[in-house]
Amino acid sequence: MLLTPHSSPRPRAARPRAARPRTAARRLKSALLASAVSVCLVAASAPAAPLGVGDRLFPYLGNPGYDVASYDLSFTYSGSNSKPLQAVTTIDAWTTASLDRINLDFAHGAVESVEVDGRPATFESAGDDLVVTPEDALMPGSWTRITVRHTSDPVGADGRDGGWVRTTDGLAMANQADVAHLVFPCNDHPSDKAMFTIRITAPDDYTAVANGLPAGADRSGGTTTWTYRTQHPMATELAQVSIGRSTVLHRDGPHGLPVRDVVPTKDREALEPWLKKTPDQIAWMEKKVGPYPFETYGVLMAQADTGFELETQTLSLFEKDLFTEPGYPKWYIESIMVHELSHQWFGDSVSPRTWSDLWLNEGHATWYEALYAQEKGGYTLQERMKAAYGASDRWRAAGGPPALPKAPEPGEKISIFRPNVYDGAALVLYALRQEIGQKAFERVERDWVRDHQDSTATTADFRQLAEEVSGRDLGDFFQAWLYGEKTPPMPGHPDWKPTAAAEKGAKTSPVPQAPKAP
């Protein structure tokens, strides 16, 4: 998902490809914005300016000239979720161009000092960028370490949602699509994935959990420092830190996979019936697309009013109230759990090269959510897709075609998460299955997550794979379904037609939105 809106609980009558992961990422650095790299080569005397990697939807997101290998994040939490955390961010990176300056994305914290390779560096802000000037220019192919001492403010920035999420007992993170840089300095674009070590120091009566596996908990002077490390690269928008009065529950998943869930301590018994479903859900997904791609998985149930769930890598974020509010059928809640779980393959392990490739994340997560709902709740995939077909022309007009979404509204960056990248994109997958047959389609799904594991991929990569597997030229098919202003005829369903425009104020999703949890 990014931010997966809640859908209505009511059933309707409700061969490895070319580049290796790091090589592909480096190629992207050059290919996305060669012009931006050249901008980065300006002399240090020129005014500092925000840069970007040229993303069509977020032109100033990310930065050219380097490829991050790892982040080491340290946060010190005082016990108040309205006070800035003290933080240290250390970035290890390879330079891909000569750099007089290094631009980092960082826009919501006080910077105390910056070092480059152990030596003090000057710094200033430009837009959402922290512009660092080292003592000496960095040459191409250099290994460099950037250390920033700063604060990380959990109170929202100028009405911008995301970054830290304040819960009733602490904090969590929701960094999608473009707000990890409100939490820590970074190259905040999914094309530059990296390894993470995350350390959180908090009073002893708090529990801290982050992406990856635990690597120690050191107690001293009334505080505990918790350390976690990822074993696979991760995009900045998928980082997660939970600090709260929580309990961590452990169980085994398929093949001995460690599953750990983070829940409010007082609610652990009430939530257990939901949590124990996760191992079987992982096994269900593995039967569909292959082995789970990471070192652990779990559910973080936060006491927060977000209006969404989020697929943060190895630890998906959910509102606790989704599981405790009356009125949601069990099959519906489980299908939302599967939506976020499926993102671990589609979106987390295989990340979008640009944000215009978002349909590959959300379309696939919606697809497996719908398949699961069909098996568990009797709401058939065909019913859902027929309803989506009826609304698809309206969605395309409002938000753009699935692979060419309109830019986000000013001040509403998450508005790229429209129906056209959820059910509208799942409709493209349904059409593809109709076009090439179920057997070929299922092979495409498995090969996709295998070939691009721990990397990034594009819409063009998906088309190439579908053509290889099916042995057909699918150029016209994908052009029409992914970029057309109007929805093409559905293969095998000539009777499917667009429905009349909804009345003003009416819902346009085939599965109406559920009320936002209080």
* Beta bridge mates, 289: none
Examine residue 177 and say whether the peptide bond preceding it is cis (omega within 30 degrees of 0). yes
In this predicted model, what pLDDT tens digit does every residue of 91-137 receive, in sequence order?
999 999 999 999 999 999 999 999 999 999 999 999 999 999 999 99
Domain ranges of the chain: 52-244, 247-349, 351-483
- Higher model confidence: residue 295 or residue 21? 295
Rounded mean pLDDT of 168-188?
Answer: 95
Closest CA to 164 of 240, 79, 245, 226: 240
pLDDT at residue 253 is higher than 70: yes
Q: How far is CA 37 from the centre of its chain?
A: 26
Q: Read off φ and ψ for residue 467, nearest 5 degrees.
A: -70, -40
pLDDT value of residue 23: 40
Residue 461 pLDDT exceeds 70: yes
For position 232, what pLDDT does the model report?
98
C-alpha torsion angle, residues 323, 4, 63, 149 (rounded to 10): -20
Which pLDDT value is given to residue 411? 65
* Cα–Cα distance for residue pair 446/318, rounded to 1 Å: 27
Q: Could you report the per-residue pLDDT of 329-343, keeping only the tens digit for each?
A: 899 999 999 999 999
Separation CA 165–CA 318 (nearest Å): 12
Q: How confident is the model at residue 377 (pLDDT cuts 50, 70, 90)?
A: confident
Q: What 3-state DSSP class applies to 459?
A: helix
For residue 504, the model assigns a pLDDT of: 37
Give the CB-side neighbour count of residue 392, counting CA atoms within 13 A: 32
Q: Residue 235 pLDDT more than 90?
A: yes
Q: What is the sign of the dihedral through the CA atoms of 378, 421, 418 and 337?
A: positive
**pLDDT: is 12 or 297 the higher one?**
297
Task: Give the mean model confidence (pLDDT) for residues 489-501.
Answer: 92
CA distance 229 to 233: 10
pLDDT at 41: 42
Beta bridge partners of 89: 73, 148
Determine the average pLDDT of the residues in 158-175.
88
CA distance 249 to 262: 7
Average pLDDT over residues 431-437: 98
* pLDDT bucket at 501, cuts 50 / 70 / 90: low
pLDDT value of position 162: 75
Q: What is residue 24's predicted lDDT score, i.e. its pLDDT?
A: 42
Which are the contacts of 190, defined by CB distance < 8 A and separation ≥ 6? 235, 236, 237, 351, 352, 353, 355, 456
Q: In terms of Cα–Cα distance, which of 234, 216, 233 is closest to 225?
A: 216
Residue 512 has pLDDT above 70, yes or no: no
pLDDT of 213 reads 98
- What's the whole-number mean pLDDT along residues 465-488? 98
Say what the pLDDT of residue 159 is: 62
Q: What is the pLDDT of residue 506?
A: 32
Q: Is the pLDDT score of 220 beyond 50?
A: yes
Please, what is the angle between helix 381-399 and helix 358-377, to 10°? Answer: 150
Report the alpha-carbon distance of residue 4 to residue 398 in Å, rounded. Answer: 18
pLDDT tens sequence across 41-51: 444 457 899 99
Q: What is the mean pLDDT of the chain?
A: 88
Reported confidence tier of residue 37, pLDDT bands at 50, 70, 90 = very low
d(CA 215, CA 188): 25
For residues 137 and 99, is the Cβ–Cβ distance under 8 A? yes
Look at residue 306 in the predicted model and tell me its pLDDT: 83
Buried/exposed code over 408-437 (b: 16+ C-beta within 10 A; e: otherwise):
beeeebbebbbbbbbbbbbbbbbbbbebbe
311, 340 in Cβ contact below 8 A? yes
Which residue's structure tokens are 């999608």?
176
